[in-house]
Structure 1
Amino acid sequence: MPPRRSHKKSRAGCRRCKARKIKCDEVHPRCGNCTKHGVACDFEHPGVADSLTPAETPRPTTSTSNCDSPSTSTLPPTPSVDAETPLPLYRNPESLPLTTNTKSSRMMELKLLHHYTTITCETLAISSPVSERIWRNTVPNLAFSGANFLADALLAVSALHLRYNSPQDQELVRASHAYMASTLSEYGASLSKGINESNAEALFLTAALIAFQSTASRIFSRDDSGDLKDRSDGYVLPLSWFHSFQGVKAVVAASWQWLRHSGIVVPIIESQPALNLDLSGQNANFFGHLLDGAEEEIMSMDDDPESQELTRQAYRHAVAVLDWAHKIPHTGAPLVFLATVSRRFVELLEIRRPRALAILASYFGLLKCLDSVWWLKGVSRREVMGIISLFNPDDEEWWPRLQWPLRIALYEGDVIPPDVWGADWAAETALLEEASHNGNFVSHIELLSQMFTAMQNMPGGTAALDLAARQTFMSHSRTLDPSALIDNTARPSP
């Protein structure tokens, strides 16, 4: 056995690498690890590290991610908070330098703001000029009034949009991550303090932008073949989409007493097509076959009457939303699915119940009609193919029910004929007018708000309401941890 080679341990690494107990390449003026994660390096800024007292020496944080998180940068520790309050994933992320030059940072912000107000804002609303004007003019003005987390959210979304067209631009990668990290930190702190009249609008708009960022970020989390996969377990369901949009719903319900009078929020909500759902499950409809055999499944797989009823309602409601959106897909109606399905339906997806997966595949089939929107381009094909990979082609029960989303996802052409789609879009206007008389999203939210009010009036209700708001932040944080995207940032989108 050859003698072991001697090893001389270097003590010249940067303080951040030392704190994290990893090898530093000692490259000046910025080591490779700090460059990779876009964080401060004391080689480059020795004054920052020297100004810390021994009590402020950073400690490595525990993370379930396989990637190094920017949260371990050389910055003061997060102030202590109540044990039940979820801690932000990032410590003072607004201090993370986007570039090494102050003037360059300012120019980056101007570039992002200009891109947001001229282009990105137009992509946040589908078929709604009123909503587009609000996102273009009113929302930035609200952000400038002191809602820093909203301003950072605007810049983060703008950076992601620019990055879509320039996927190799590492400055945009760092900007997108850093601004969203700052958004999540301040947004989470505001939720922990409580929603009130002064911050309700900004929190709603920020939650909406975080949900948008969560959805759009998925286009950068793929392997070279274009499939979204976990290294150990194949295709990964986009549960983060549901967590984020469900979070928006929770914020709206918790703050509706103030939002119902908002000249900003109400027009955005009213711009959505009115819900007109058949929840009986008795009438013939296009996706009714997805409910065939549901009762037998529920009775055999759910243990108690309460969970059985929750599952039954979750399936019926999800299919009802699919049927409604199937008739008016170009209005953006399919996006409503993410926010309106029940928490139980998301749980069924998490445990990969075949019926829930088949419903989800049909949902992504609906998104084929929105393939021209940059943040939804290719989503239908990619997600439908991913979900289908979870089924056995010899499964005689479920494989036939997956044929519609498969056929739609693989369809080549800008316009899908009615005989392929299964509905005549010529009647779309009439359906919208009919639906407008049967209630709208405002009435839907009124009912949701009443439920939250009832929760408040129950023993422990305020704690439950606060928990719902905190869970919203935690869902967003899990969804948009920038460190989880580091390994994929250099990969161009197809």
Structure 2
Amino acid sequence: MPPRRSHKKSRAGCRRCKARKIKCDEVHPRCGNCTKHGVACDFEHPGLADSLTPAETPRPSTSSNCDSPSTSTLPPTPCMDSDTSLPLYRNPETLPLTANTKSSRMMELKLIHHYTTITCETLAISSPVSERIWRNTVPNLAFSGANFLADALLAVSALHLRYHSPQDQELVRASHSYMASTLSEYGASLSKGINESNAEALFLTAALIAFQSTASRIFSRDDSGDLKDRSDGYVLPLSWFHSFQGVKAVVAASWQWLRHSGIVVPIIESQPALNLDLSGQNANFFGHLLDGVEDEIISLEDDLDAQETTRQAYQHAVAVLDWAHKIPHTGAPLVFLATVSRRFVELLETRRPRALAILASYFGLLKCLDSVWWLKGVARREVMGIISLFDPDDEEWWPRLQWPLRIALYEGDVIPPNVWGADWAAETALLEEASHNGNFVSHIELLSQMFTAMQNMPGGPAALDVAVRQTFMSQSRTLNPYALMNDVTHPTP
């Protein structure tokens, strides 16, 4: 028998691999095992070492409570099991959180009270019916077994309280921890499939995730890698689109059950009816954003199908702008995030000037909603950020940015119609006219028919499942608690 080869045990592995008693490949700045499971590695962030010590992790508790001031200030670390295809985050129950103490119970009571008395009123714009549903019906559904929905309510409530107390680290940890728990259980439910019993809860959770993604941007620091990157400058809020596109994907995939829901349908119907002019033949306010689109598409797209997809993406996005521009006080501009096509989001990701100019105009529309706490200052901040990506000497695009720039910098609570470019007196009449032509549910019906057609095609169900999963992955990255570590350790002044 040949002699047994000697083995030299290394003590240079990362702390997580040591805790799991597995071999670490010692690759820097992130070892292979941590990379595989999508978790933090103390090679990459030495400051995490103490938080990964096994002795500091107690047995899991029976409730998802937020941290006490005495525990680590680090947010939950994202984790993905090797046998799952979704980047699920570890539930706070498995993290070094406090036991079910009186202070943690009081925090949960504080959050649910704040949600039912104040936060729920901010989730709906100009819709008393929708507001009552968010206040009464949604919590009842959450506490009947939909734990991920309950955690989402607590996360959003904590975020709202942070708006008033940005230095409160308990609220910071609570907001991140509850959203991490939401993403974990929400993703697990999606992976098992949407059905009649969970469709309502999944839709409402997707909507709250989108809300959290949007509202979280107000807490981002200029040096945190969100609003401004030190090397690349302004960073687009693509997470907004990913999250709202997630709501659209869940709705389309589960509409066969949601169309009869007494909870979901009133929320959807509270949105103003889409009345889009896709012909491009009428004189519309934002029509100039499509000038020269044909030459651009031909020069940049070789494939005919790609040309048509890009053309439709631009035309549809501008049509939504024109529609929302006439009725902005109803919350119509928010519909833009969910209704634009995936191709338009791709055009934003590649920073096409036309797509950026359309986005700047969209943020200009949000100026009318500046009184809403989670949209306050958004128009000015985002428009100025997008404009920083353009050269003032650009004779083609700079003139098309003047409207959003003028609106974003406008001082005053009410923008006059001659500055805005629409007659406020006609807003009610336009709403009534649109209601006769159908409501937002009609748009959902068309979207659902497209998803149904996908399911009936070869490989359709698998494609639909992949679409929903990809959307969840985008949502998860959007609210990655580990990526928000700088927000926890360096709160907004």
In the superposition, the TM-score normalised over structure 1's length comes to: 0.85
Give the SS at the match of 1:394: coil
1:323 aligned partner: 322
2:253: which partner in 1?
A: 254
- Following superposition, the deviation at residue 136 of structure 1 comes to 0.3
The offset of 1:489, in angstroms, is 3.1
How many angstroms apart in 1 are the aligned matches of 2:463 and 2:333?
A: 30
Q: How many angstroms does 1:198 deviate by?
A: 0.2
1:144, 1:151 within 8 Å by CA — same for their partners in 2?
yes
Residue 276 (structure 1) shift: 0.4
Q: How far has the Cα of 1:11 moved from its partner?
A: 10
Q: Deviations for 1:230-269, whole angstroms, at most 9, x for unmatched residues?
A: 1321110000000000010000000000000000000000
Instruction: Answer whether contact 1:75 1:92 (CA < 8 A) is retained.
Output: no
Distance 1:311 1:71, change over 3 A: farther
Superposed CA deviations along residues 70-108 of structure 1, whole A, max 9, x for unmatched, are: 999999999999989533342233333555661111111
Q: Cα offset for 1:438? A: 1.2
CA spacing shift, 1:429–1:75, aligned 2, 3 Å? closer
Alignment of 1:348-387 (within 5 A): 348-387=347-386
Instruction: Determine helix, strand or coil for the equivalent of 2:49.
Output: helix
CA distance in 2, matches of 1:242, 1:51: 33
Q: Quick one: structure 1 residues 390 and 20, their matched pair in 2 at CA, closer, same or farther if it must change by over 3 Å?
A: farther
**Helix, strand or coil at the partner of 1:396:** coil
Pick closer, same or farther for the CA change 1:34–1:250 going to 2, 3 Å: closer
Structure 1 residue 26: deviation in Å?
23
| Cα RMSD after superposing both structures | 8.2
Give how far 1:493 is off.
4.8
Alpha-carbon distance in 2 for matches of 1:28, 1:68: 31
1:190-246 CA-partner distances (Å, limit 9, x unpaired): 000000000000000000000000000111112279991013211100000000000
Number of equivalences: 493
**Are the aligned partners of 2:329 and 2:368 in contact in 1 as well (CA < 8 Å)?**
yes
User: In the TM superposition, what whole-angstrom CA distance separates every residue of 1:150-202 from its partner, at most 9, and x where no partner exists?
Assistant: 00000000000111111111111110111000000000000000000000000
- For the 8 Å contact 2:40–2:78, the answer to whether it is kept is no
8 A contact 1:168–1:489 mirrored in 2: no
* In structure 2, distance between residues paired with 1:89 and 1:69: 24
Q: Is 2:86–2:469's contact at 8 Å kept on the other side of the alignment?
A: no
Does the 8 A contact of 1:59 with 1:72 survive in 2? no
CA distance 1:69–1:290, change in 2 (3 Å): farther
Show the counterpart of 2:27. Answer: 27
Q: 1:76 to 1:373 in 2, by over 3 A?
A: closer
Q: Give distance in 2, aligned partners of 1:127 and 1:480.
A: 27
1:488 to partner: Cα distance: 2.4
Checking the alignment, whether the CA contact within 8 Å between 1:281 and 1:288 is kept in structure 2 is: yes
Structure 2 regions of 5+ residues with no counterpart?
Answer: none
Q: Is the 8 A contact 1:149 1:187 kept in 2?
A: yes
* TM-aligned CA distance change 1:250 to 1:45, over 3 Å: closer
Change (3 A) 1:174 1:82: closer
Q: How far apart, in 2, do the equivalents of 1:167 and 1:355 lie?
A: 36
Q: 1:293 to 1:33 in 2, by over 3 A?
A: closer
Contact 1:357 1:387 in 2 (8 A): yes
SS in 2 for 1:51: helix
**Offset, 1:342:** 0.4
In structure 1, stretches of 5+ residues that fail to align are: none
Give how far 1:473 is off.
1.0
**Counterpart for residue 280 of structure 1:** 279
Q: Tell whether the 8 Å contact from 1:38 to 1:96 is kept in structure 2 after alignment.
A: no
Distance in 2 of aligned mates of 1:75 and 1:224: 18
Deviations 1:36-83 (A, max 9, x none): 9999999999999999999999999999x9999999999999999998
Distance 1:390 1:106, change over 3 A: same
| Matched position secondary structure for 1:493 | coil
Residue 84 to residue 271, structure 1, CA distance change in 2 (3 Å): farther
* Alpha-carbon offset, residue 146 of structure 1: 0.3
CA distance 1:348–1:168, change in 2 (3 Å): same
Q: Cα 1:79–1:326, aligned 2, differ >3 Å: closer, same or farther?
A: closer
Q: CA deviation at 1:490?
A: 5.3
Secondary structure of 1:27 counterpart: coil
Distance 1:384 1:42 in 2: 38
Give the stretch that moved more between structures: 215-224 or 6-15.
6-15
Quote the sequence identity (%): 92
Q: CA deviation at 1:135?
A: 0.2
Offset at residue 13 of structure 1 (A): 14
Greater Cα offset, 30-39 or 453-462: 30-39
State the alpha-carbon separation in 2 of the partners of residues 341 and 249 from structure 1: 10
**In structure 1, C-alpha distance between the alignment counterparts of 2:415 and 2:103, rounded to whole Å:** 46
Q: CA, structure 1 residues 266+43, in 2 after alignment: closer, same or farther (shift >3 Å)?
A: same
**1:20, CA displacement in angstroms?**
10
Rate the CA distance shift 1:51–1:389 in 2: closer, same or farther, 3 A. Answer: closer
Q: C-alpha separation between the residues in 2 aligned to 1:78 and 1:224?
A: 22
TM-score (norm 2): 0.85
Residue of structure 2 equivalent to 1:310? 309
What's 1:6 paired with? Answer: 6
In 2, are the aligned partners of 1:244 and 1:479 still within 8 Å (CA)? Answer: yes
Hey, what does 1:225 align to over in structure 2? 224
- The 3 A distance-change label for structure 1 pair 276 and 163 is same
Contact 1:455 1:462 survives alignment (8 Å): yes
Alpha-carbon distance in structure 2 between the residues aligned to 1:467 and 1:33: 25
